[in-house]
Amino acid sequence: MANHSATKKDVRQAAKRRDRNRYYGKTTRNAIRELKAGTDAKAYTEQLPDVVSMIDKLAKRGVIHKNKAANLKSKLAKKANTTA
């Protein structure tokens, strides 16, 4: 366990960040899963910008790598084009 007060604070901050990152990551994964499961093309195109925004925020925060974000967005856009 940490002995210095600054290290204890860092442990608290890291735990808070980890919980926050897990929440945003899980929420985004669920949104992607719901988007892929949808069959309506109109609803897909309406929800796509929101999901892409969520993915971009994860990449900006460093929760996921920027290339992974690009791959996810590319796959979603490809599916949007095939359903349209």
Q: How many other C-beta atoms lie within 10 A of the C-beta of residue 36?
A: 12
The CA distance from 42 to 26, in Å, is 25
Tokens linked to 64: 């996921």
- Max Cα separation, the chain? 59
CA 13 – CA 23 distance, rounded (Å): 15
CB contact at 8 A, 37 and 44: no
| Token digits of residue 74 | 């590319």
Confidence (pLDDT) at 7? 92
- Tell me what percent of the residues of the chain surpass a pLDDT of 90: 83
In the chain, where the domains are located: 5-83
| pTM of the entire predicted model | 0.85
Superfamily for domain range 5-83: Ribosomal protein S20 (1.20.58.110)
Q: What is the pLDDT of residue 49?
A: 96
Task: Examine the pLDDT at 39 and tell me if it is beyond 90.
Answer: no
